[in-house]
Amino acid sequence: MWFPRNRIVDFIEGIEEIFSAGALEDYFVSSTRHGVLLEELWWWEDEYHPSLKFEIKCSRGSCALNKGSCLLKRPVNPYPQILNEIKKRSRDKDQSGAPYLDAMMIKAFAQALGGDQKAQEFFLEKNRPLWLDGSIGEEWIAAQMKLEKAKKLGCLQ
């Protein structure tokens, strides 16, 4: 069916945004009796883990997103030396350790989830360390966003 462009724009502008997800976020979505359940999935230890839960409830023509809750089952001190290892590899002049930094960043994220204060500070500092660039920097930003959400919901120790 064809719609004139101005009718489509009017329709889209009339829709209120209730929820949006970024390119670096993964969700399991299921329907409920009165809306949609969203479970945010976080990757560590080679698998996805349901970590945060949000629900969109609809009634009488309007919908609302709840504040969210924790599903997080935190790992317990899985990689205690990971920050030292990341810093060591980042200083390699030949960059032979660079390909491993992506995987190490995920391990540091798991360490932060487990309650390691230094790992949490590493991700929650305002400015990204300059040596984190490319895909490694993207992993850091994604971890920072997730930890900020978890902290806001009271999921972190």
pLDDT tens by residue, 53-95: 999 998 887 888 899 999 988 888 888 999 988 888 777 656 5
* Distance (Å, whole) CA 132 – CA 138: 8
Q: What angle do CA 61, 66, 71 make, to 5 degrees?
A: 140
* Distance (Å, whole) CA 128 – CA 76: 26
Which helix H or strand E contains 103, and what residues bound it?
Answer: helix 98-113
* Distance (Å, whole) CA 91 – CA 96: 10
Look at residue 22 in the predicted model and tell me its pLDDT: 77
> What predicted TM-score, i.e. pTM, was given to this entire model?
0.77
Q: Any idea where the domains of the chain sit in the sequence?
A: 5-70, 82-152
Q: Give 35's strand partners.
A: 32, 57
Under the banding of pLDDT at 50, 70 and 90, the label for residue 3 is: very low
